[in-house]
Amino acid sequence: MKIARTFLPHIFVAAMMAPPGSAAAPLASALRTADIDGALGATGAWNDKEQVYKVSFPRTDVAVEVDGFALPPFMGLASWVAFKGAGGGKTMMMGDLVLRGARG
């Protein structure tokens, strides 16, 4: 899929730009968020509760309706990646990528 081929390399570049945070108290300032945003082409946000820097990508190219109601992209149709300092000079990255089957 074209989106997967273009999206995934940006995530890996952003992961390389995310320096380690402290395992005891990871902070947004420990991550180079401006570099992550630049590499991904989208702006993320710090989540205090989860202690992660998260960047979301709504799938605006997918039109979904449920019982005649148009489902907005942010309602389960978004890919995202989150970054968190993992200690020991490492950064953990986790996410979810929304993909569709091949069109015939």
Beta-ladder partners of 65 = 70
What letter represents residue 54's amino acid?
A: K
Q: Read off the pLDDT of residues 59-86 as tens digits, 9 standing for 90 and up.
A: 777 777 888 888 877 666 788 999 998 7
Comparing CA positions, the residue from 94, 13, 16, 4 lying closest to residue 52 is 94
Residue 26 confidence (pLDDT) above 50: no
Domain boundaries, the chain: 2-96
SS (H, E, C) 10-41: HHHHHHHHCCCCCCCCCCHHHCCHHHHHHHHC
> In a 3-state reduction of DSSP, which class is residue 24?
coil
Q: Considering only 15-19, 54-58, 59-63, 68-72, which range has the smallest mean pLDDT?
A: 15-19
